[in-house]
Structure 1
């Protein structure tokens, strides 16, 4: 999975009192204990309530941060509830003027943004947090080993060699031997592998493997096998590379590590294609594709799977190839909005630009005195501009050929979204208009009822027939429900999965509520009284109990 974090923002240095070691350890123990959420936010709130009720402001901050993590696990995507609590935890930490909590809450939020590929939003936060961490003694930080390891991920993603120093710094604060230390050794090996230093890469992979075997960490051992396969591939030893990847996949399946199995399967498929073993490739890609399709944030991997499937087809099945290319286009359009290469390259340029600016500032400060300062500053400034210009132009040359195509694709994608949204919106508007007609018919019927004229009886019958035809029938409801699921499939599935006790009558109320129908509009449409709608909601609240508030939190999420 792609990650990106780097750092550079002007920090306003502050003289703050140092927190006690015992207090830091206490906070760390709470985080490690409570950060293992189940998919039930009601239970999560109850478990964390002791933090919220505490008179200690630091405990309140932990409550907001950990609850944000809980909603992230529950929804398994970017969501408004997590966003609210993450930002609230950061805001309260800043009010308290606690550097350790400020850094941790920002890292906690950054990990959430990283996991769900919100790259553009992530960059400024990580840059700021990395700079702030330079102003704090690591012994006074909360979970420094996790913080520095996270910074290492970010710099590794943008292929910056400072990643290695962050990784090594994290190891100074973690238990050895442990799964964490094995993971960091493995990450350092990957940095050397990216720099084509195969000897150093294999050395760190072997160290990581030794730790994993010593502590019995089979999951880490499986991942190391996959990374060692990359070394053999670069050496041209494809058969050994394939052998290691098959072992990796076997362990991943045994311990149900779908994500690692997916990555290893994609690598194995590439190698087997080089060995012309296409029959094996089709089976491997089918499994990898199934995993990649299960999560929206696996779409980069799904793109790779589809590209490999097209290589296997090689023009042999035009119909199937057409379907795959259509699917590939949709994924590419989605990635342009999230973690696509364009965003990553732009982020990389930003990092380099910030580094040049920072280097210039350091040199300028060293030459504050002396007659040569002015001339040297001009030279440095020119060099910074030239380097930034070269970096920018280099990126532009790579993107220029795709620029027009990407813009056209973006406009087409927006049109597709608009077309996709129009069906359920049109349906909702249609139902609103029906409500207006029903109100008019009811008023006319009321006037007839109040009249003593026998000549209006026939007209009354006709109006009653028209009123009945405008009410929501089972057939109309079926059509409405299908259109609703097309537009709000994720919402509908979340409701069905988490509230299996709901009946069809409950779903009608919930779906109309999602479309902002009020009680009066619901009663008109369903042909019942407003009191009947209110009683239905009261019965629903009694049925769901504590989960009723969660239901309406889900309904309110846009």
Structure 2
């Protein structure tokens, strides 16, 4: 029976891909798959079949039909653990994308972060999820977090040579630059995105990048370039019927371009085309306004039902029953809010614990790597640079948690701060680094000791790290002091050494 469930779902996907659309035959296969999974009373299999169907509805812009399918899947997901699910990362990701598409950005980020917990790092899927979390932060006007996730996705995509994702991240960072008014850099990033996307034949991303590029040129009052980019985006949008929403957006953009230049004839033609597209979209389930209309209809239906109950109660004059109903509703709402709050808090704790575990494992991995490696100065430098990377990462995560609803968890446990403190250069790290440095640069080290006896141990740490190419910010992070403290240390040393200070730093920055 399970084989039949899988077979029907996969046949639905095959027919969808074969005809590049959701055909009646494909729908029949999906519905059969869900029906058989229901009979088996296997929630994991049922979730998988529902999300296969929902994903196809989503991909071909059948948003209204997708809504109840997603909601059913979510209802079942809340009753089982991720370990029991089939492909939990993929399941959470699909729900996250849908929630973001219908405008629930906060819920989209929650589900995509859950997906991230079950995704292997440094993979295309990992980069994809990071990129999309950034997009939903961008849609929420949280540009700081958006850029953080876009950059992480870009670095990951470049490491694993995922050119398509790398191109998308460049375009998304370009959107950030647009919001900052840095049009020149935004254009450069978007043009790189387009060059890669066109080379790889990824039409949808190329269309999206040209659309954003046209908006940047429009803001920068470069009308011809804006129109050229919009024309290229429109040419792609016209190749697929499910790109009609994109085509409508592009037509509105061109209308704005014509309006800015007082091109009345083209403006009139664009308005006619826009009207045709809007009428066409009203006949499909792909238009987002239909989702809102559907939800409003559900709300109106519920209100009518409640109104009928109230009228019946008034006719029967059953005040006591009304009081009982209200009491039950209040009790239900209180209970629901209590458990909902508990569930959210549990999710936050799980995310926090997973973050702690990940950081501890990372720390153990690179420290074990150092122990296994030959203890050379090069190995020490690589070790300290790795430490510095993790210090920056932890500092950013602590700041993120501090500004989130999970701040109390870190305030109470302080585990991220403990891991951060453990990354600072210990006395043992310092002695090992100094010993290997002395072996590699014996003359330089002896010169420091004999020619500059005024140098303290604290000064020595800064000087040796600086000699090895560490910046002031990296030194301050490794030593657990502020950049201002590093600067003041140098100023005090300069006062001590006087004319000898320039001599000291000439040998520090020499090649030997």
Q: TM-score range by the shorter chain?
A: 0.5 to 0.7
Q: How far does the alpha carbon of each residue in 1:69-99 deviate from its partner, in whole angstroms, 9 at most, with x for none?
A: 1111121122111011111111111122221
State the match for 1:86 in structure 2: 30
Cα drift, residue 313 of structure 1: 2.6
2:63 and 2:287 in contact (8 A); partners too: no
Separation in 2, partners of 1:346, 1:266? 27
Within the alignment, does 1:339 sit opposite 2:286 as a pair?
Answer: yes
Q: Unpaired segments of 5 or more residues in structure 2?
A: 302-322, 337-512
Separation in 1, partners of 2:191, 2:298? 37
SS in 1 for 2:141: coil
Change (3 A) 1:189 1:289: same
Q: How far does the alpha carbon of each residue in 1:499-548 deviate from its partner, in whole angstroms, 9 at most, with x for none?
A: xxxxxxxxxxxxxxxxxxxxxxxxxxxxxxxxxxxxxxxxxxxxxxxxxx
Q: What's the TM-score once normalised by structure 1's chain length?
A: 0.52
Aligned match for 2:255, one of 301, 307, 310: 310
Change (3 A) 1:227 1:353: farther
Within the alignment, does 1:128 sit opposite 2:72 as a pair?
Answer: yes
Within the alignment, does 1:236 sit opposite 2:197 as a pair?
Answer: no
State the match for 2:464 in structure 1: none
Cα drift, residue 160 of structure 1: 3.7
Aligned match for 1:325, one of 268, 271, 277: 271
Separation in 2, partners of 1:197, 1:350? 32
2:8 and 2:32 in contact (8 A); partners too: yes
Q: How far does the alpha carbon of each residue in 1:439-482 deviate from its partner, in whole angstroms, 9 at most, with x for none?
A: xxxxxxxxxxxxxxxxxxxxxxxxxxxxxxxxxxxxxxxxxxxx
Cα drift, residue 312 of structure 1: 2.7
Q: How far does the alpha carbon of each residue in 1:180-199 deviate from its partner, in whole angstroms, 9 at most, with x for none?
A: 01111111112222222222
Within 5 Å, which residues of 2 pair with 1:346-361?
346=293
Within the alignment, does 1:208 sit opposite 2:153 as a pair?
Answer: yes
Q: Unpaired segments of 5 or more residues in structure 1?
A: 1-56, 355-370, 385-558
Change (3 A) 1:123 1:379: same
Change (3 A) 1:272 1:113: same
Cα drift, residue 66 of structure 1: 0.9
Separation in 1, partners of 2:298, 2:147? 29
Within the alignment, does 1:186 sit opposite 2:131 as a pair?
Answer: yes
Q: What's the TM-score once normalised by structure 2's chain length?
A: 0.57
Change (3 A) 1:284 1:146: same
Cα drift, residue 373 of structure 1: 10
Query: Larger relative contact order (C-alpha < 8 A, sep ≥ 6)?
Result: 1
Within the alignment, does 1:222 sit opposite 2:144 as a pair?
Answer: no
1:123 and 1:347 in contact (8 A); partners too: no
Separation in 2, partners of 1:313, 1:229? 24
Q: How far does the alpha carbon of each residue in 1:33-54 deviate from its partner, in whole angstroms, 9 at most, with x for none?
A: xxxxxxxxxxxxxxxxxxxxxx
2:105 and 2:139 in contact (8 A); partners too: no
Q: How far does the alpha carbon of each residue in 1:84-139 deviate from its partner, in whole angstroms, 9 at most, with x for none?
A: 11111111111222211111010000011111111221111111110101112211
Separation in 1, partners of 2:170, 2:194? 9
Cα drift, residue 345 of structure 1: 2.8
